[in-house]
């Protein structure tokens, strides 16, 4: 994946570039707002990672200009400002996701992979299937190998989110944000308990598990 | 001089002076108007009197002859009073009357005149040859007429009396104005002095406070006037500032303790990992611990920032009208499986459709903190099943959220203290947690204009969040 990172902290940037490289992504770097904007509008990237506070031009104004020009490249905003209203301003400016510093690299990686996927056209499918597991978003039915599985509404939304991003790592924070719509870190293992209940419903009695725990990162559904 | 300038600069003194000036100007205008009106009135009265006397004399002369006229004139001339009379022959030669030297033009042309004359003493005899010292100078207003037989009759009034009246008005007027000025200056001065004294007291106190003595307060008198009102407000404000500073000091102390401890652990782990003798496995474990510790630090830091922002005012701008029932239900649903896994029973009693002006994220976060807290302590000492009950109800104009457990509870003496930042009771020191959870709930309650308190659930803790609708 071709990524543009606009970040003025050189140390943070070089760490990110190296880590993204190890994860198999090509990353270009701009260390100020003007250069970043020029690079973003001149070249084709799959994801932009934009720091909010930048020299010469701030992150939100770059995103607003790009959106005004019709550029729909997914943008992940990085910011030290983490309050709900800061997040709302960021997303309103045209950002697709918002990550508060300091963050874990696994969190950032999971988010940009989901973002890049989002820009691909298979977005609005009404039906997801992974292995023998299928989920119908309209009739809200879930089956595995032809056998119906009864899920609570929240479990259904959890599974829906996981299947929408099948094959990608989904972090606990992402689940909390997208399934429960809260933006805080629960201090205990709340998400894990919900996941283990979901797992017992979809994987129990089957030889191949579909729901996997990715250590140190989150969860993934795959064949 | 500088003292005077200083006093003059005060608004009280200037205001008083302005009022004195306005008052004096109005008094002068009023008195001048009254004086002018009365003198006009007196003049008109005198003119009427003179005219009717002239007519009377003409009638006497016409009906009873010149003798009767002379007799009447003589009688009137001899009486004390302002009346002046003159009778002369056709050539203007003095015949009788109490006025001897009438200017010739008055006698030639009949009409109304005013002139200076020498007034004889009304008690004096032999009017024609009075010695000088028995005369006084006067001003007369007269009407002169020519009688049918060609004789000249002049009837008039001495206006010195009238002038005397004006002088009396002027005199009382001057006395009045001086009195008013003196009185106003004294009254204004006293008022200004009193006001300035009160203000000086407040300024002295504030100077002492600025120089660092924050326990100083503005004295309050028994008068209970507007200055006392101001002083009370200032004192209340100072109390609040002192409280905040005290809080800040405690927080700084606690931050130092609660952040330095994990930072020290972090540093120790990193040092351990760098040690030559450390095996790769030890290093890996140390690094994992480093990440865990820093995550905990970040969480503590975020919680602190959040409390600070909530306490400073609404973090997300204005609160909006939202339905609060789903928030409480969502958080309850989020935590129920976790509680069940730990063998704790959760029961809910959540009223539907409860509206509240609130911040969704903050209410959610407060609920999470309350539940996490309850889960930590819902372990009865007698070993029976832990229970948590979550409630949302409307009581009058308040929305009341309760989270109750049946754990060991919090002693009454500590129920307020645990709402402060970093306060953890001895029993819970061993437990995980930053000691910020309840402090944040408290701050959220205050932001929504409500109250948060810990009650006895006998046994256990009943946390009550009361928010006005």
With the CA atoms of A153, A158, A159 and A161 taken in that order, what torsion angle do they form, in degrees rounded to the nearest 10?
120
Chain B residues near residue A88 by CB distance under 8 angstroms: 316
B82 contacts B161 by C-beta, under 8 angstroms: yes
pLDDT for residue B432? 62
To the nearest whole Å, the CA of A28 is away from the closest chain B CA by: 27
Q: How far apart are the first and last CA of chain B?
A: 61
pLDDT of B168-220, one tens digit each? 777 887 887 788 788 878 887 887 788 888 888 888 888 888 887 878 888 88
A103 inside 8 A of chain B by CB = no
Question: Count of CB contacts below 8 A, A vs B?
Answer: 54
For residue B186, tell me if it sits in a domain. Answer: no
pLDDT for residue B124? 46
A187 inside 8 A of chain B by CB = yes
pLDDT of A141-182, one tens digit each? 898 888 888 998 889 999 999 998 888 899 988 998 889 888
ipTM of the complex: 0.83
Residue B296 CA to residue A187 CA, distance in Å, equals: 9
Q: Is the pLDDT of residue B62 over 70?
A: yes
> Average per-residue pLDDT in chain B?
81
For residue B459, tell me if it sits in a domain. Answer: yes
Residues B335, B272, single domain; the answer is: no
* More confident site: A52 or B215: A52
Q: Are β-strands B83-88 and B94-96 bridged in parallel, bridged antiparallel, or unpaired?
A: antiparallel
A80 inside 8 A of chain B by CB = no
Count of beta carbons in the 10 Å neighbourhood of residue A158: 24
Residues B304, B327, single domain; the answer is: no
Band of residue B137 on the pLDDT scale cut at 50, 70, 90: low
Taking only residues 106 to 125 of chain A, the set having a beta carbon closer than 8 angstroms to any beta carbon of chain B reads none
* B61: CB partners within 8 A, 6+ apart: B68, B69, B147, B148, B149
Residue B116 CA to residue B140 CA, distance in Å, equals: 6
Is residue B83 classed exposed, middle or buried when 0-12, 13-18 and 19+ CB atoms within 10 A define those classes?
Answer: buried
What separation in angstroms does the CA of B240 have from each of A50, A127, B312, B418? 42, 60, 14, 20
For residue B222, tell me if it sits in a domain. Answer: no
Residue B8 CA to residue B421 CA, distance in Å, equals: 52
For residue B354, give the CATH number of its domain: 3.30.565.10
* The two structure tokens encoding residue B207: 């100077």
To the nearest whole Å, the CA of A154 is away from the closest chain B CA by: 9
Chain B residues near residue A82 by CB distance under 8 angstroms: 302, 305
- CB spacing of B338 vs A88 below 8 angstroms: no
Mark which of B256, B289, B312 sits at the end of a domain: B312
To the nearest whole Å, the CA of B20 is away from the closest chain A CA by: 59
* A10: CB partners within 8 A, 6+ apart: A31
Residues B333, B298, single domain; the answer is: no
* More confident site: A17 or B177: A17
B61 contacts B148 by C-beta, under 8 angstroms: yes
Residue A85 CA to residue A73 CA, distance in Å, equals: 23
pLDDT for residue B133? 43
Residue B53 CA to residue B47 CA, distance in Å, equals: 10
pLDDT for residue B149? 79
Residue among A86, A88, A188, A199 with most chain B CBs within 10 A, to mutate:
A188
B371 contacts B331 by C-beta, under 8 angstroms: yes
Q: Which residue of B has its CA nearest to A185?
A: B299
For residue B255, give the CATH number of its domain: 1.10.287.130
B396-B401-B403 Cα angle (round to 5): 145
Which DSSP category does B121 fall into?
Answer: P
Residues B141, B20, single domain; the answer is: yes
A15 inside 8 A of chain B by CB = no
Residues B123, B264, single domain; the answer is: no
- CB spacing of A184 vs B361 below 8 angstroms: yes
For residue B107, give the CATH number of its domain: 3.30.450
In this complex, which of A85, A182, A197 lies closest to B316 when CB atoms are compared? Answer: A85
- CB spacing of B299 vs A187 below 8 angstroms: yes
Residues B37, B131, single domain; the answer is: yes
Residues B294, B328, single domain; the answer is: no
For residue B136, tell me if it sits in a domain. Answer: yes
To the nearest whole Å, the CA of B284 is away from the closest chain A CA by: 13
Q: Which residue of A has its CA nearest to B340?
A: A193
Band of residue B125 on the pLDDT scale cut at 50, 70, 90: very low
Residue among B368, B373, B437 with most chain A CBs within 10 A, to mutate:
B368
To the nearest whole Å, the CA of B350 is away from the closest chain A CA by: 18
- CB spacing of B432 vs A187 below 8 angstroms: yes
Chain A residues near residue B294 by CB distance under 8 angstroms: 102
What values do phi and psi take at B131, rounded to 5? Answer: -70, 155
A28 contacts A4 by C-beta, under 8 angstroms: yes
A113 contacts A179 by C-beta, under 8 angstroms: no
- CB spacing of B338 vs A189 below 8 angstroms: yes
Residue among A91, A99, A178, A184 with most chain B CBs within 10 A, to mutate:
A184
Band of residue B131 on the pLDDT scale cut at 50, 70, 90: very low
Q: What is the pTM of this model?
A: 0.63
- CB spacing of B302 vs A154 below 8 angstroms: no
- Residue showing tokens 């209940």: A197
Residues B301, B396, single domain; the answer is: no
B164-B170-B176 Cα angle (round to 5): 140
Q: Which residue of B has its CA nearest to A80?
A: B302
Count of beta carbons in the 10 Å neighbourhood of residue A152: 13
Residue B428 CA to residue B436 CA, distance in Å, equals: 13
* The two structure tokens encoding residue B380: 């009865």
User: Taking Cα atoms as reference points, which of B408, B332, B412 lies closest to residue B372?
Assistant: B332
Residues B24, B131, single domain; the answer is: yes
What domain range includes position B290?
A: 227-312
Mark which of B312, B335, B354 sits at the end of a domain: B312
B124-B125-B126 Cα angle (round to 5): 130
Band of residue A212 on the pLDDT scale cut at 50, 70, 90: very high
pLDDT of B22-40, one tens digit each? 877 887 788 788 878 887 8
To the nearest whole Å, the CA of B214 is away from the closest chain A CA by: 34
Residues B65, B149, single domain; the answer is: yes
To the nearest whole Å, the CA of A217 is away from the closest chain B CA by: 13
- CB spacing of B315 vs A186 below 8 angstroms: no
DSSP-assigned beta bridge partners for residue A5 = A29, A49
Residue among A106, A180, A193, A216 with most chain B CBs within 10 A, to mutate:
A193
What separation in angstroms does the CA of A201 have from each of A160, B90, B345? 14, 149, 22
* More confident site: B146 or A17: A17
Residue B335 CA to residue B342 CA, distance in Å, equals: 11
For residue B216, tell me if it sits in a domain. Answer: no
Residues B289, B373, single domain; the answer is: no
DSSP-assigned beta bridge partners for residue A147 = A144
pLDDT of A100-110, one tens digit each? 888 888 889 99
Q: Which residue of B has its CA nearest to A186?
A: B368
| DSSP string covering A152-211 | -HHHHHHHHHHHHTTTS-EEHHHHIIIII---S--SSSHHHHHHHHHHHHHTTT-SS--E
Edge-to-edge strand order for the sheet containing A133-136? A127-130, A133-136, A141-144, A147-149
Cis, bond preceding B202 (omega within 30 deg of 0): no
* Domain count of the fold of chain B: 3
Q: Which residue of B has its CA nearest to A182?
A: B361
Count of beta carbons in the 10 Å neighbourhood of residue B173: 17
User: Taking Cα atoms as reference points, which of B212, B253, B205, B219 lies closest to residue B423?
Assistant: B253
For residue B246, tell me if it sits in a domain. Answer: yes
A43 inside 8 A of chain B by CB = no
Q: How far apart are the first and last CA of chain A?
A: 23
* H-type alpha helices, B90-159: 104-108
To the nearest whole Å, the CA of A144 is away from the closest chain B CA by: 24
pLDDT of A26-45, one tens digit each? 999 998 999 999 999 888 89
* The two structure tokens encoding residue B319: 């609160």
For residue B120, tell me if it sits in a domain. Answer: yes
- CB spacing of A187 vs B338 below 8 angstroms: no
Mark which of B312, B342, B367 sits at the end of a domain: B312
Residue B286 CA to residue A148 CA, distance in Å, equals: 46
pLDDT of B227-260, one tens digit each? 888 888 888 888 888 888 887 787 787 777 778 8
A174 contacts A165 by C-beta, under 8 angstroms: no
For residue B201, tell me if it sits in a domain. Answer: no
Residue A91 CA to residue A108 CA, distance in Å, equals: 16
Residue A86 zone, left/alpha/beta (φ > 0; ψ -120 to 50; rest) = alpha
B51 contacts B235 by C-beta, under 8 angstroms: no
pLDDT of A115-135, one tens digit each? 886 655 555 678 888 888 889
To the nearest whole Å, the CA of B380 is away from the closest chain A CA by: 21
Query: Domains, chain A, ranges and CATH?
Result: 2-121 (3.40.50.2300), 125-221 (1.10.10.10)
Residues B299, B372, single domain; the answer is: no
* The two structure tokens encoding residue B218: 């503005």
């Amino acid at each position: 994946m071709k990524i543009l990172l606009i970040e003025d902290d050189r140390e943070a940037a070089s760490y990110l570039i190296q880590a993204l490289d190890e994860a198999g992504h090509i990353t270009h770097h701009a260390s100020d707002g003007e250069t970043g904007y020029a690079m973003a509008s001149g070249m084709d990237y799959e994801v932009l990672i934009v720091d909010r506070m930048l020299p010469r031009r701030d992150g939100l104004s770059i995103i607003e200009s790009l959106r005004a020009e019709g550029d729909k490249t997914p943008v992940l905003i990085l910011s030290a400002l983490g309050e709900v209203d800061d997040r709302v301003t960021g997303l309103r400016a045209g950002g697709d996701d918002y990550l508060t510093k300091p963050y874990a690299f696994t969190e950032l990686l999971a988010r940009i992979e989901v973002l890049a996927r989002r820009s691909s056209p298979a977005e609005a499918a009404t039906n997801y299937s992974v292995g023998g597991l299928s989920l119908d978003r309209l009739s809200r039915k879930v089956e595995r190998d032809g056998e119906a599985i009864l899920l609570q509404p929240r479990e259904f939304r959890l599974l829906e989110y996981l299947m929408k991003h099948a094959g990608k790592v989904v972090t606990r924070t992402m689940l909390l944000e997208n399934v429960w719509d809260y933006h805080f870190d629960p201090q205990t293992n709340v998400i894990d308990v919900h996941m283990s209940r979901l797992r017992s419903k979809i994987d129990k009695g089957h030889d191949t598990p579909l729901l996997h725990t990715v250590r140190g990162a989150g969860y993934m559904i795959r064949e | 001089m500088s003292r005077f300038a200083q006093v003059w600069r005060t608004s009280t003194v200037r205001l008083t002076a302005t009022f004195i000036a306005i008052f004096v100007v109005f008094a002068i205008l009023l008195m001048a108007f009254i004086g002018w009106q009365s003198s006009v009135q007196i003049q008109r009265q005198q003119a009427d009197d003179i005219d009717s006397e002239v007519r009377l004399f003409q009638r006497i002369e016409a009906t009873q002859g010149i003798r009767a006229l002379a007799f009447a004139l003589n009688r009137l001339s001899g009486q004390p009073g302002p009346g002046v009379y003159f009778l002369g022959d056709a050539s203007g030669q003095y015949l009788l009357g109490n006025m001897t030297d009438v200017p010739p033009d008055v006698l030639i042309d009949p009409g109304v005149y005013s002139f200076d004359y020498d007034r004889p003493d009304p008690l004096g005899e032999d009017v024609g040859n009075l010695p000088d010292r028995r005369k006084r100078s006067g001003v007369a207003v007269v009407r002169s007429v020519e009688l049918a037989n060609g004789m000249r009759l002049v009837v008039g009034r001495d206006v010195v009396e009238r002038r005397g009246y004006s002088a009396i008005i002027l005199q009382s007027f001057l006395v009045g104005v001086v009195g008013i000025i003196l009185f106003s200056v004294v009254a204004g001065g006293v008022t200004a002095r009193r006001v300035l004294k009160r203000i000086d007291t407040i300024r002295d106190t504030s100077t002492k406070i600025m120089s660092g003595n924050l326990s100083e307060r503005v004295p309050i008198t028994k008068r209970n006037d507007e200055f006392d009102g101001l002083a009370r407000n200032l004192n209340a404000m100072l109390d609040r500032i002192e409280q905040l500073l005290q809080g800040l000091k405690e927080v700084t102390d606690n931050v130092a303790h609660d952040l330095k401890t994990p930072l020290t652990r972090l540093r120790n782990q990193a040092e351990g990992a760098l040690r030559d003798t450390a095996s790769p496995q030890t290093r890996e474990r140390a690094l994992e611990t480093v990440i865990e510790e820093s995550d905990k630090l970040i969480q503590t830091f975020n919680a602190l920032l959040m409390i600070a922002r909530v306490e400073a005012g609404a973090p997300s701008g204005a609160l909006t009208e939202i339905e609060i029932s789903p928030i409480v239900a969502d958080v309850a649903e989020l935590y129920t499986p976790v509680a069940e896994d730990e063998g704790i029973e959760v029961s809910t009693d959540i009223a539907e459709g409860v509206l509240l002006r609130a911040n969704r994220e903050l209410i959610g976060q407060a609920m999470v903190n309350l539940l996490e807290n309850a889960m930590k302590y819902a372990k009865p000492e007698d070993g029976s099943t832990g229970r948590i009950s979550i409630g949302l109800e409307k009581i009058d104009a308040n929305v009341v959220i309760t989270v109750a457990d049946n754990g060991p509870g919090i002693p009454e003496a500590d129920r307020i203290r645990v709402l402060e930042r970093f306060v953890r009771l001895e029993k819970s020191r061993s437990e995980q947690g930053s000691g910020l959870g309840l402090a944040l709930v408290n701050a959220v309650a205050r932001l929504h204009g409500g109250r948060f308190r810990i009650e006895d659930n006998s046994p256990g803790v009943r946390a009550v969040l009361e928010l006005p609708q």
